[in-house]
Amino acid sequence: MDQSPSKKLSVALSINDEIRQVEIRPVDTLLYVLRTKLGLTGAKPGCLNGDCGACSVVVNDTVYKSCIMLAIEAVGQKITTIEGLKDSPIQKAFVENFAFQCGYCTPGFIMNCHSLLLKQPHPTYKTMKEWLSSNICRCTCYEEIEEAVSSVIENREKPINNEFEKDE
């Protein structure tokens, strides 16, 4: 198979529980394909080198920076974008806690939190803060973001002896 950077390949991607057929080049990032080929613009281009998290998506329950993941790597994987979450409790908590200013970073934070809660349904406050540290908010809404995620965690059914404590 010709793997030259300009060679187009037709692939099927599982995005938001739907199979989408798309033509890609081996060098296309998942972010590029989501935004330009599939019209899913929730993942945002920020730094384009994996530092800011604005482009975060969930692949097989793990958060990934789509700006540094090749689309070809996503073939056969289950991809969830912000568009696939609909009205999740995390999104509602962000609105209720005013956890955004400009909103550019918000989809990335929400996807990161979604992945955290898939992996650890009842994380500690420290774990939640560490998890959120992989995303950047230039408007400095960190306190409101932490409050939003905390409210979702606190409102989940808790197992015995696993209280969510702010163990800063």
Look over the chain and give the mean of its residue pLDDT values, rounded to a whole number. Answer: 91
* CATH domain 89-154 topology: DNA polymerase; domain 1 (1.10.150)
pLDDT for 60 equals: 98
What CA–CA distance (Å, rounded) separates 117 from 165?
A: 16
For residue 121, the tally of other CB atoms under 10 A from its CB is 13
- Confidence band for 158, pLDDT divided at 50, 70 and 90: low
- The CATH 3.10.20.30 domain(s) of the chain lie at 9-82
Q: Which helix (H) or strand (E) holds 167?
A: none
- The CATH 1.10.150.120 domain(s) of the chain lie at 89-154
Residues of the chain with pLDDT > 70, as a percent, come to 91
What CA–CA distance (Å, rounded) separates 132 from 112?
A: 7
> Do 164 and 113 touch, CB atoms closer than 8 A?
no
Q: Which CATH architecture best describes the domain 9-82?
A: Roll (3.10)
**Quick check: pTM over 0.85?**
yes
Beta bridge partner(s), residue 141:
none
